Chain A
C-alpha cells in the first residue's frame, strides 16, 4: 500500500483526534466511517465519536497519556470496518433558489460557466444522503452533489448567513438550520425546522436519511 492508501490521523490539541479516511467522497466510504464511529464510541476514554465527511473526530473524556495506542486501534478498526447501511427516511425539502438569501446563485453559475437554470436543475436532480450532522445545531452535510456545480469556499467567511440557507462549499452541499457565520455560497433557502432542543433526539435528520430538493421557485 502507498501512503495515500492509509488514513491520516492527527491531534486536535489534547481534547480530540481526527481520523481522515483515504479515498473518494462517496457513500461506501461514508458507510465505513459510520461503522468506525459505532466501534470507537464504545472505547474507554472516548466521550463522543463524530462522523463528518469521510472522517471521524473522537473527543476525549480524558486525554490518553499516549495517543499512539489510540492511533493504531483506529487503523486496525478501519481495516476491519464494513460498510454500514443505514436505511433512513426520505424527506422532501421545498427550496426557493436565488433571491436575497440565495444571493450566490449567480456567482456559482458564473464560476461553473453555466446558466442559473442549469445550476438549479443539477442541484435539485439527485437524491442526497445525510452523511453527517455538524457545524451548528441540526445542520446536515449531504452527499451526492454533482461535482459540476462545485465552488471553492469563500476567501474570507461571512460573519452572518441566514437560517435555512441551501449552500455549496467545495464539492459539498447542505442546508443551514439557523443563522450564523459561514464560508459557503448560499444558492437558495428552505423554511423547514431541523432542530429543537426539546425533542428527545434534538435533530430532525440523522445520518442515512435521504433528502430530495424540490424547486419551489427560482428568483433570478
Chain B
C-alpha cells in the first residue's frame, strides 16, 4: 500500500509545473489528529500504511493516532483508536497490527517540522522533494517536531472515528462503496458497459498505492477505442485503460492523462478509498454534483464537531 511518509494536506497550486497534490490519502484522519492536538489542520503528520512501526519520542510530547484502527502501545499502555495521549522522553510507541483499514496517522503537538517546499510539507515521491528529504521514512530516521502552538491541547482524549460517524448505509462488511460523479467519457460506454461499472464489485489489486488503485473485475470497454489528447486530471478520477480495468487516481497521481474517464470519486469519499485494503471490494454509486457538495458539508460538520468537543474538553480541564 506504499511507504511510510510525512504528509500534510497537500500541495495544491503547482499543477502548471506538473506537480501533483501529494498529501495525506485520508485527509479527514490527518485533520482530526491535528484538531485533537490543537495544531493547524495542515500540520504535517506521518502516514503509516504498514505495521509493525515503532517510534521513540525524544522529548515529552502530546501525540494522536487517527485513521485506521491500530493495535498501539506506549510504555505498557494501550492507545485506543482516534486518541490523543502524552509520551514521555524515550518512550517507544509501538504500532503492531492494523486489522481492518489501510492507513493510520501519527500526529504530534506542533507538527512534524520538515521544510515547506513549493508551498507544502508533503512528500513528492516522483520529484523526490518535500517531506523528509523527498523519500519514504526508513528505520533510524530522526524527525524534528515544531514547537506546540498557543492553542495546543494535551491530556488523554478520544474522538468518534470518521468511519463510525460518516458510515454509509447498507454497505456489507469488507466492502467499500464510494460515490462518484460521471466524467467526460461516460457516454462513450454503452448501457451494458455502464451497468457493469455500477453493478460490479471491484477488487483492489496489489498494484494499488499512493499513485493509483488498480481495480480488477469484468472488462468495461467503450463502444470504440478512445485515444484522447492529454488533459489535466485530479485525484479521484477513474480512468479506463484499454484493458477495461479501472484505475482510480490517488494523491501521487500524475497531473495529466489521456485514458478515457468514466467517473470521478467525490472529494468527500476519497478517504474511504484511502482506507480500503488491498484485496477488498470497492463499489461505485452515482451521485449528483449538488449531493457531492452536500457530502463535503457533512464531513465539515463532523470536523466542526470535533473542534467544538476538543475545545470544550480543554475548557473543562481549565475549570478543574
Interface residue ranges, A against B (CB under 8 Å): 8, 10-16, 18, 20, 25, 47-57, 59, 63, 65, 67, 132-139, 141, 152-157, 159, 169-170, 172, 177-181, 183, 195, 197, 201-203
Provided the pairs A12-B234, A195-B127 are in contact, do residues A183 and B18 lie with their beta carbons within 8 angstroms?
no
Contacting pair A134 B267 (CB below 8 A)? no
Provided the pairs A52-B231, A178-B126, A197-B118 are in contact, do residues A138 and B17 lie with their beta carbons within 8 angstroms?
yes
Contacting pair B231 A133 (CB below 8 A)? no
**Which residues of chain A are within 8 angstroms of B215 by Cβ–Cβ distance?**
none
Contacting pair B19 A137 (CB below 8 A)? yes
Provided the pairs A13-B292, A156-B241, A157-B241 are in contact, do residues A53 and B16 lie with their beta carbons within 8 angstroms?
no
11 A-B interface contacts by CB (under 8 A):
A10-B183, A12-B183, A51-B16, A53-B230, A55-B232, A134-B255, A136-B18, A152-B242, A153-B227, A153-B242, A202-B14
Cα-based distance from A32 to B281 in the complex (angstroms): 44
Cα-based distance from A136 to B211 in the complex (angstroms): 11
Contacting pair B236 A15 (CB below 8 A)? yes
**Which residues of chain B are within 8 angstroms of A154 by Cβ–Cβ distance?**
241
**Which residues of chain A are within 8 angstroms of B232 by Cβ–Cβ distance?**
12, 16, 18, 50, 52, 55-57, 59, 134
Interface residue ranges, B against A (CB under 8 Å): 12-20, 117-118, 124, 126-130, 180-181, 183-184, 207, 211-212, 225, 227-237, 241-243, 245, 247, 254-259, 261, 264-267, 289, 292-293, 296
Cα-based distance from A134 to B254 in the complex (angstroms): 8
Contacting pair A136 B126 (CB below 8 A)? yes
Which residue of A47, A53, A197 contacts B231 across the interface (Cβ within 8 Å)?
A53
Contacting pair B234 A156 (CB below 8 A)? no
**Which residues of chain A are within 8 angstroms of B124 by Cβ–Cβ distance?**
137, 197
Which residue of B128, B231, B245, B255 contacts A55 across the interface (Cβ within 8 Å)?
B231
Cα-based distance from A71 to B20 in the complex (angstroms): 24
Provided the pairs A13-B267, A202-B118 are in contact, do residues A133 and B241 lie with their beta carbons within 8 angstroms?
no
Cα-based distance from A52 to B212 in the complex (angstroms): 21
**Which residues of chain A are within 8 angstroms of B267 by Cβ–Cβ distance?**
13-15
Contacting pair B231 A20 (CB below 8 A)? yes
**Which residues of chain A are within 8 angstroms of B236 by Cβ–Cβ distance?**
12-13, 15
- Taking A12-B234, A135-B256 as known contacts, 15 extra A-B pairs with beta carbons closer than 8 A to each other, sorted by chain A number, are A11-B264, A13-B237, A14-B267, A25-B229, A48-B16, A134-B254, A136-B20, A137-B17, A154-B241, A156-B245, A170-B229, A170-B258, A179-B126, A183-B257, A195-B18
Cα-based distance from A14 to B126 in the complex (angstroms): 25
Cα-based distance from A50 to B184 in the complex (angstroms): 17
Contacting pair B13 A14 (CB below 8 A)? no
Contacting pair A12 B264 (CB below 8 A)? yes
Contacting pair A13 B265 (CB below 8 A)? yes
**Which residues of chain B are within 8 angstroms of A156 by Cβ–Cβ distance?**
241-243, 245
Contacting pair A177 B18 (CB below 8 A)? yes
Interface centre among A63, A135, A139, A177 (most CB of B within 10 A): A135
Cα-based distance from A157 to B247 in the complex (angstroms): 10
- Chain B residue nearest to A25 in the complex (CB): B229
- Chain B residue nearest to A141 in the complex (CB): B230
